[in-house]
Every structure is written in C-alpha cells, then in structure tokens.
Structure 1
Amino acid sequence: MMSKNARVLAYTSLAHFANDGVFLIYPLLIVYYSVEEKISLVFLGSLAIIYTVLSGILSPFIGDFADKSDKDPELLAGGIGLEALAIVFFSLAFLDRTLAAPLITVGVVLLGSGQAFYHPLGGAMLSRTFGRGAGRALGLNGAMGSVGRSVMPSVISLLLLYLGDVLGLTTFFAYMAVVSVLIYFGVKDLRRGGQQQVRKTTEKLERGFYKFLLILGALVFLRSMFITGTATFLGEFEYQIYLSKTLAGIFLTVGFAGSIVGQPVFGWLTERLGGRTSFALSSVMSVLFFALFLSSVRNLYLSATAYTLFTFAAYTGFPVLLGYVSQVFPKSFFTVANSYIWGVGNTIGGAAGTALVTALLGLHFTILEAFYLLFALALVSTVLTPLIPKRV
C-alpha cells in the first residue's frame, strides 16, 4: 500500500498529465473546424483568447473556495471532469454544422473553466504534503505535465485519423472521464488534517504578503507574455524559415523536451536555494538562451539547441513559482496565493502575450520583430526581479 506522500504525488501527477494533455486540444481542433466545418478563423481565434483568459480569471475564486472548504479531492477531480465534458461538445460540433459555433463556444467555456483548477490545487496539495521537500515533488509532478503537453496532441491526432472526428473525440472523453474518477477515489480521504490549514472567513494576511503577491505577479505576467507569446507562433516562425511543416514539428518536439528535464532540476534548486534565487536564475538563463536563439535562427542545429536550453529554464514555473509561494505564505493561503500567481500572472499574462503578437502581425510586423519586442519585456522583468521583497 502506498504511503500518503507517494499517493499524493502519483494522483496529482496523473491529474497534471491529463490537465496539460488537453491544453493544446483546442488549438489542434481549430485546424479541423476551419477546414472541415468552414468556421471563421477569426471566430475560432477569438475563442482561443477567451478560453485562456477565462481560466485565469476563475482561478483565484476556485483557490479562495478551496482554502475555505477543504474539498481539494472533489475540486481536483471536478476540474478534470469539466475538461472531459468540454470534449463532448467539441465532438458534437462535427455532427451539425449549423450548431457547430454555439457547441464549440460551450466547449471552450467548459475547457477554460476546467483549466482553472489543477495548478493552484495540485501545487498546494503537494506543498502541504511534502513541506520542505515540496520542490522536488513539484518538479517531478511538473515534468509529468510537460510529458502530457508533448504527447497528447499526437495521440489525439491519431484518434481522429483512425476513428474519425466524433468517435475519436468520444474515445478521448472516455479516457478523461476515467482519469477524473481515478483521481477522486485516489485522494478522496486526503484532507488538510487540521483547522490551521483551512482558512476562516475572517482570517486576513498582513500587508507585506499583498505587496509580495503584487510584485511577483507583475513580473510573472511580463515573463509569461514573453514565454507564451513566442511559443504560440514558434511553429509558424520555423516554417517561414525552413518552409517545412515536418521540420517545424520536429523543432517543437525537440525544443520542448528541455522543459521535461528542467522542472525536476529547478524544483530541487528551489528547495536548496530558495524560491527568490531560483526565480531570478531561471529568468536570467531564459533571457540568455533566447538571445542565443534569436542570434542563430538560420542555423537549425544551434537554434534548436538554444531553444531546448531556453525551455529547460523558462518552463519551470510550476516548481519554482508554486514552491516559492509555499515558502512564503501560511498553509491556509497556499491555494489562493497559487491561483493569483499562476492564474492571473502566468495564464492571463500568456494570453496577453499571444494577443500582442496577433495585434503586431495585424499591423504588418514580422514574427521576428514581435519576438524582439517580447524579448524586451523579458529583459524588463528580469532587471526588476530584485524588487521582490527578501522577507515578508
């Protein structure tokens, strides 16, 4: 029988794999809806931004409710369940073209809502369970999320290819529904274990915590604009250089492999060096490696190596940011603090970065020029890192 620590790590890792595995399902389905259902790319693209922003806006409300209610297992499984339900509506959109737009809209709302649950909840559960050893647990857990994000788009593509649009998505829904049930029964008896970890309605934080949250959240917002805005258009950027869709896909696969290794490493560093130092280190390394990437875009091997090193340092937010929060905040505020840093700073910041690049392209900027502008935002975020209070 598994120990409590092993059980929490196993089932939250399964949840992270499933949650991040559907993160790219809507961008993938945009291709099918635009080609097969003849739905406007402008409409589909607008829903993509709404889906991301909705996830970020809902996250603090879910985090606040979680800290007051002690219903982490129900909320964790419920978030995956909402994502599973979204896939049902995505599949129904292929059955009736006249109803496709409203069905896709409902699916996007459900998917965005479901995406608001995992990161603040999973991070808080691991931090409470592992205490001082949470950094390594968050890193291993984050690596599973990276694997899900890398692998599942290919799995979904194969399901659609061999089973068809509706049956393929229905099969994927069944998988997600089973995962949701497994997660609930795997952690249903894991409660917070003490009233000091369940926040009372009247319990408030001192002013210094809000200052910390505001400064770190603002820096994460700028950094996420840079990371997500460049990642969203990286495939198109590589295609324009090498004129090969296959090569662009290989570049993305190789490039994002760095994040799978980086998360456990930076989780360990967060334990050893502290969240503030690890955040600064990952920011500086991200800027340096992206600068190398920008200077070598015509050299396939050097640019792919530079981007892999970039994702090694940049895609470490889960163990670094949520590990940092657990080192600063009381346990009864873990989830809601996570939700502001991850939901508002990371998620909405990423949506803002994507929207900025989209707007610049509409003004006839090149993708490379947009990348340089986002790189400037990353430099600002890195330079301002010393503003984060050393003590709260």
Structure 2
Amino acid sequence: MSSNVNIPPSESGGYNSGGEKGLRVITFTSLGHFINDGTMFLVPVVLDLLAVVRHVAPTLITASLTLFYLAMALSAILLGGYIDRKGLQSSGMALGILVMSLGLLLFIAALGNVFPAVFIIISSALSGFGASFYHPTGTSILQSHYKGERLGRYLGINGSFGSIGRAIYPYILLIFVGVFSSEIAGIGILGTVGIISAASMAIGLRGYRISRPENRGLNSKSRGILSSAIVLLTVISLIRSLAFYGIISWIPEYLSFDRGLKASLSLGAMMSLMYVGGILGQLLFGRLVEIYDKRRILATTTVLAAVLMFLYIITTGPLSYVFLGLFGFVNFSGFPIFMSMISDYVPRDSSTTTSNALVWNVGGSGGQALGPLVVGVSIVGSYHNLPSVFIVLLIVALISSVLTFILPRPAVSKRVPLFG
C-alpha cells in the first residue's frame, strides 16, 4: 500500500539557481563529489594492489573493506545532527575531503612494506571517516539552494562529477602502475590533489551556512508518515547497497583472479568502463525523477542493474564489456534518485543533513560495509568463488526493488520537459 504525503512548498516558491552564489554552490559541491567518489572508489583498487603486490590475505582485505565502509556509515549519523544544528555543511564537506585524502596517503606506508597490516587498518578507518562527510553535507547544500521541481537535474549534474571521479581515479593510479611502475607516486599525487581541493572548497564556500528554522504546517500524522518513509528508504538503500557494493568492492579481485587481468591497465580500463556509465546515467535519471514516479524509477534501475551484472558474469569478450558499461549506467544512478526522494519526504523548511546521512550513509554505506564482509566470508578464502557469490547477491538486490512500492507516494510536482 502507498499513501500520499503532502509536502509544504518552499517559502521561496521554487528554486534559486542564479547568480554568483549559485555558481559557487554547484562548482564546489561538484568538485567535492568528484574528489570524494574518486577517492572512495580508489580504496578497493589500492587494497587489490596490496593483495597482488604484497600478497595480503583475503581475511585482511575483507576486514579493511568492512572497516572502511563501517566507519563511513557510523560517522555520518553521529556527525549529521551536530552539523545540522550548527549549520556547518560547507566546512564539514571540506574537512571530510581533507581527512579522506590523508587516509589515502597513509596507504603509501603499507605499499612501502612499513608495518603493512597496521597501516592498512589505519588508512581504511581514516579514509572511511573522511568519506562520511560529503554526501550528507554536499547534498544538503544542494537541497537547500536548489528548491522545487528542478532539484533533480542539479543533483544529476553534481552526481555526474562523482561518476567522473570514480571513472578516472582507478585508471590514473593503474597508469602509474603499468607505465611508471610506481603505485606510490600515483597515490601521492591523487592524495595531494584531494588536500588542495579541500582547501579550495573551504575558501570557495566560506561563510555559506544553512539556517535551521522551526518546522511549521505538519501535524503529528504527517510527521509519522515522513519518518516512516525515511526509515523504509534507508532499509531499501541498505539492501540495495549491500548487494551491489558487495559485488563492486570485490570487482578488482574478480578481474585479477577470475579474468586474469591482475594489476594492469586492462583492469583500470574495466573499472573505468563500469564507472563512466554513471556520468550520463546520473544526468538522465536526474531529469527523469523530475517527471516520473521516483519509486518506479528506483525499482526499474535496480532490476536492470541486477540483470546486466548477471549477463556480464556469464559472458566474455566485447559483449561482456557492453553489459558492464550498461550496469554502471543504471546502477550509479542512485544519488539523484535517493536524494530527490529525501527532499520529497522532508519538509522544505527543514535541513536534510540528518536524513541524508541516514539514507545514504547508514543505509548506503552500511550496505557497503556489510556487502564486502558477506562476500569475504562467503568465498571461504578463495577468490575463485566470487562469481557464484555475486549471483546470490543479485537476487538480494531484486528484493529491494519490491520494497520500493511500499513507500508512500509524495506529492507530485508539475511535469517539466525532459530536455527543456
């Protein structure tokens, strides 16, 4: 069953995207998304390098991936309320990028064989903690600044920069590995870029604050529906993320040990192929959520992603590359879909940082923490068991698509032209 939720309109009566302030908002939040997602999706590749180059055991890789995503999930919900109360979204976003980049740089010690197990754990935890900041803070800035029916397209533009980061970061690192035989130099450069970007975001959005006015116009019944919708959306995000990111986080090992690519430019190309689809995907789905029922879009993309990953697993050669790219196109559409749904379920005169943290970090990152752990335990010490475990997780993903239809239907905004 579904019920209608009437969301009170913004006091401003729409969105405010113009002017120098609007340009700064989309520029620096997009830069943050680029660095955050590029670094976040680089961590599994760095761990794969450690497995191949330093022969790190699957148990330590599993523990590190789990710790990375767990730190991301738990830190966000603890920080979300404080950031909401203080209105520190912009400074929190920059701080997260800084901490995450420092965590990435510490992997250099492990690759240099300096107490590798210790630095792998420390780097994973620190990187995960830093990664917990961006999605609740950066998205809250966008949701506050771009109000109304056009929010989806700005989330799509912003999300596409995250997809660009995911696509090129692994390839940049593996260029250094394949061409210059120096993974340490690659990590050093990317980590330094992150630190410089954090400083530019702190300066560019200096003084930007989100006020936290009192909620008005919602009775207790409406608040209950809104709260239950956010909780259910978090559960869906958790299950979907557990399934897909359980697969994605182990894709480097799957490519290395099942398809024989090892730490090579070919592996980097495959990772980039998967991630690059999300660039166009987020732009398209960011527009579609402004027009069609978001619940159906979420369910459809989940089912398509599961089918396409299954087809990739059972095929080889050029056809498998097509399926992998299409998987990335639909799977990495979650950001504009989930975040626009949060905006529907949270009153427009309230800050969304905490709800963003709940759905994206507790749900999404919680699934990212559990997924690698489930896969790591299920492969029982052998990387060659990955394909069969992946297929089981795809069935789990399909379950989350059914749950989307239990979500209440938000108030429908005016339909807008797809390319207008």
Change in Cα spacing, 1:108 to 1:235, as seen in structure 2 (3 Å) is closer
Letter in 1 for 2:403: L
User: Are 2:286 and 1:270 equivalent residues in the alignment?
Assistant: no
> Where does residue 56 of structure 1 map in the other structure?
73
- Give identity over the alignment, percent: 25
Going from structure 1 to structure 2, the CA distance change for 1:198 and 1:32 (only over 3 Å counts) comes to: farther
Q: Structure 1: how far apart are the matches of 2:328 and 2:375? A: 19
User: Following superposition of structure 1 onto structure 2, how do residues 107-256 of structure 1 map, counting pairs within 5 Å?
Assistant: 107-132=123-148, 133-158=150-175, 162=180, 164=182, 169-192=187-210, 194-196=211-213, 206-238=223-255, 242-245=259-262, 248-256=267-275
Structure 1 distance, partners of 2:54, 2:340, is 44
Counterpart-to-counterpart distance in 1, 2:71 and 2:132: 8
C-alpha displacement at 1:177, in angstroms?
A: 1.6
CA separation of 1:158 and 1:116: change in aligned 2, threshold 3 A: same
C-alpha deviations, 1:128-180, integer Å up to 9, x for none? 11112211111111111111111112323445674956655444333222111
CA pair 204-118 structure 1, distance change in 2 beyond 3 A: farther
Which residue in the other structure is 2:380 paired with?
A: 362
Contact 2:39 2:101 in 1 (8 A): no
Cα 1:370–1:12 change in 2 (3 A) is same
Structure-2 residue corresponding to 1:18: 35
Distance in 2 (CA, whole Å) between partners of 1:221 and 1:342 is 8
Q: 1:128 to 1:275 in 2, by over 3 A?
A: farther
Distance 1:87 1:256, change over 3 A: closer
The alignment status of 1:300 with 2:317, answered yes or no, reads yes
Cα distance change on mapping 1:304 and 1:59 into 2, 3 Å:
same
Bigger RCO of structures 1 and 2 (CA < 8 A, at least 6 apart):
2
**Cα shift at 1:127:** 1.2
Decide whether the 8 Å contact of 2:36 with 2:131 is kept in 1: yes
TM-score normalised by structure 2 residue count: 0.82
Aligned positions, number: 385
Tell whether 2:98 aligns with 1:81: yes
Code of the aligned partner of 2:140: A
Q: State the shift of 1:216 in Å.
A: 1.5
Aligned to 2:64: 47
- Relative to 1, partners in 2 of residues 1:69 and 1:204: Cα closer, same or farther, differing over 3 Å? farther
Contact 2:281 2:330 (C-alpha < 8 Å) held by counterparts = yes
What are the ranges of 5 or more consecutive residues in structure 1 without an aligned counterpart? none
Give 2:3's aligned residue: none
SS of the residue aligned with 2:207? coil
The TM-score normalised by the length of structure 1 is 0.87
Structure 1 residues 53, 198: CA separation in 2 closer, same or farther (over 3 Å shift)?
farther
- Counterpart Cα distance in 1 of 2:371 and 2:344: 29
Partner Cα separation in structure 2 for residue 44 and residue 214 of structure 1: 31
Residues in 1 aligned to 2:316 and 2:175: alpha-carbon distance in whole angstroms:
31
Query: Structure 1 residues 248 and 151 mapped into 2: Cα distance closer, same or farther (>3 Å)?
Result: closer
Cα deviations across residues 15-70 of structure 1 (Å, max 9, x unaligned)? 11111111133333335545666655533431221111110111112221121111
- Give me the whole-angstrom Cα distance separating, in 2, the residues matched to 1:319 and 1:299: 32
Paired residues of 1:254 and 1:308 also in contact (CA < 8 A): yes
